[in-house]
Amino acid sequence: MKYTRYIFSYLFVLTVIPTTTLFLSCKEISNNIALGISLEVTGLPIIHWKTKISKKIFFEPRLGYCNSEDFQIWLFGTRVLYNVKNYKSSNFINNIYIGLEYDFLDIKNDEKNFANGNVFGIYTGLEKSLSRKFSLSLDIGPYFIGLSHKEYPLKEEQTNFVVNLFLNYYLK
């Protein structure tokens, strides 16, 4: 039972990624999928798999991990984003998007479950193509973070503005 959450999360990521790509034909796959990594200074690097599921909607499973002296942090989540505007000829901005994000956090301390909780956010952002295969994404929005301590009846809830910066590699 100790690893049930991890097993479920891995199975979720391993089934969602192939399932979303089934909706795309073989020619479309390379034009509609991007791998990305966060460029944030939070110390929690996040890897995402951005998949285009319709003309303007993208689905993005995410996985983050950080191991420090005091804590081990896992993040499992997903984002859905909608491209509000595409600029084909602009040299500055290629996409303006809005979206929703939901993540599950698990924080461990000394081999014990210290706390876990949820993150929910609404964001808006910009994506700029750097080359044919690379792009840079920047988004900002209010995020609600709720954590519960595993051994004590303590809860921590707060709302903050979060800035995400991602480097994306498109499989074109």
Q: Provide the pLDDT for residue 103.
A: 93
**Exposure of 157 by Cβ count < 10 A (0-12 exposed, 13-18 middle, 19+ buried)?**
exposed
Residue 149: its H or E element: strand 134-149
Q: Provide the pLDDT for residue 92.
A: 62
Q: Provide the pLDDT for residue 123.
A: 96
| CATH code of the region 4-170 | 2.40.160.20
Separation between Cα atoms, residue 51 and residue 69, nearest integer Å: 35
- Dihedral sign (CA 122, 127, 132, 134): negative
The residues, any chain, with a CB within 8 Å of residue 99's CB and separated by 6 or more, are: 79, 80, 81, 82, 122, 123, 124, 125, 139
Separation between Cα atoms, residue 171 and residue 138, nearest integer Å: 20
Question: Tokens 């609404």 label which residue?
Answer: 122
Q: Provide the pLDDT for residue 20.
A: 47
Q: What is the DSSP letter of 126?
A: E
CB atoms within 10 A of CB 158: 9
Q: Provide the pLDDT for residue 155.
A: 87
Whole-angstrom distance between the N-terminal and C-terminal Cα of the chain? 41
The residues spanned by each domain of the chain are 4-170
Q: Provide the pLDDT for residue 26.
A: 41
| Residue 171 token pair | 């499989």
Separation between Cα atoms, residue 115 and residue 171, nearest integer Å: 37
What are the mean pLDDT values of the chain's consecutive 10-residue runs (172 residues total)?
A: 53 50 44 73 78 90 86 90 81 84 88 83 93 89 90 85 88 74
**Strand, helix or coil at 28?**
helix
